[in-house]
Amino acid sequence: MIMSTSLRAPCTEPLQRAFHQAANFDKRASGFRLDAAPARVVRCSRDGGGFAPERVQSGSRSRKSEAWRAVAQGREQAHLDEEREQEVERAKMDLLRSVMDTKRGAQVSPDQRAAIEEAMVGVERFNAGSPLVLDELHGTWLLQYTTAPDVISLLQAAELPLLQVGQVYQSFDCKGRTDGGIVENIVRWSVPGLLQANEGATLIVTAKFSVASPRSIVLQFEEARVGEVEISAELETFITPAILPRTFINLQILQFLRSLDLRFPLRGSQTQPQNASRAPIGAWYNLTFLDRNLLLGRALGTGGIFVFSRTQARRKST
């Protein structure tokens, strides 16, 4: 390659590319030089009547390429995350639609049960393998559907005229914990004519729970409690009729009913998974899906499946 020494114009970008191609060129007399080291190149700058070498970092272009590549990868990942989130939401809506008109599982046909199971598996696959985060579990969850025999018996009994069953909740107290916490199974119920409709009294079954595996907890039941009684206007009128003087006994009966709080100690279930000789003793509960507004669980053995949606913290009477 031949280059005239009479060149006086400042080096331009095309000239720099020519220098880069001539990696072994060295013409000291003209003042042009290309350093062959890969970490830098030399460009020309005019200095008086000649040209003096000036170093330029050759890695700047590769760094820009890496930066653009990182941006592109970040955008692609964000797009994939958005698509996955939309897919999860669609699967969740399919499940919630499938449990509608089943009266929380009390009235469900075999075809409905199969469709619900399929929809539930479709949601569970998005949480497969990921560990349980108790901060996300913390809070109050409203029952949407179950196949648990004990809950189904209660819901079916509500079809009789002597009992009403209102909302059913699970309330987890485990914020800031990684090993376990407290869970309350809450049923609001009533006796028509005696208590306020659907919400006349509360049955609360309290259990401690511990984390047994990345997706499983073990419940050890401690106590059942009946309280938060709210009598009906008809019963209150019967006890303390407005047309008669309210005696001390009448008022005591009324106060007793309003403050009724019955507690019964419970013994923990001894259910254990097969081939788990060292597993914690208690009722095993696999939390197969959990996000900000949906909780799915499968109780071991004949415990059944559960579909919960997040709700506001339940108001408790003082």
CB 204 within 8 A of CB 186: yes
**Left, alpha or beta for 301 (phi > 0: left; psi -120 to 50: alpha)?**
left
Identify whether the C-beta of residue 231 lies closer than 8 Å to the C-beta of residue 194: yes
pLDDT at 15 over 50: no
Alpha helices in the chain (DSSP H): 13-21, 59-98, 110-124, 134-137, 149-157, 233-239, 248-258
Within 245-291, residue ranges assigned H as helices are 248-258
Of 172, 187, 259, the C-alpha closest to 224 is 187
What average pLDDT does range 280-307 have in this prediction?
A: 89
Kindly tell me the burial class for residue 157, based on how many C-beta atoms sit within 10 Å of its own C-beta (0-12, 13-18, 19 or more): middle
Reference 179, options 140, 218, 205; nearest CA is: 218
Name the amino acid, one letter, at 127.
Answer: N
pLDDT in tens, 97-132: 999 999 999 999 999 999 999 999 999 999 877 899
In 99-109, which ranges are continuous DSSP H helix? none
User: How far apart are the C-alpha atoms of 289 and 159, rounded to whole Å?
Assistant: 31
DSSP code for 315: P
Q: What's the mean pLDDT in 69-81?
A: 73
Which pLDDT score is estimated for 17?
52
The one-letter amino acid code at 1 reads: M
User: Domains of the chain (ranges plus CATH)?
Assistant: 13-60 (no CATH), 128-311 (2.40.128)
* Of 21 and 238, the one with more pLDDT: 238
H or E stretch at 88: helix 59-98
CA distances from 32 to 24, 37, 39, 186 (A): 12, 16, 18, 86
Query: Sorting pLDDT into bands at 50, 70 and 90, what band is 77?
Result: confident
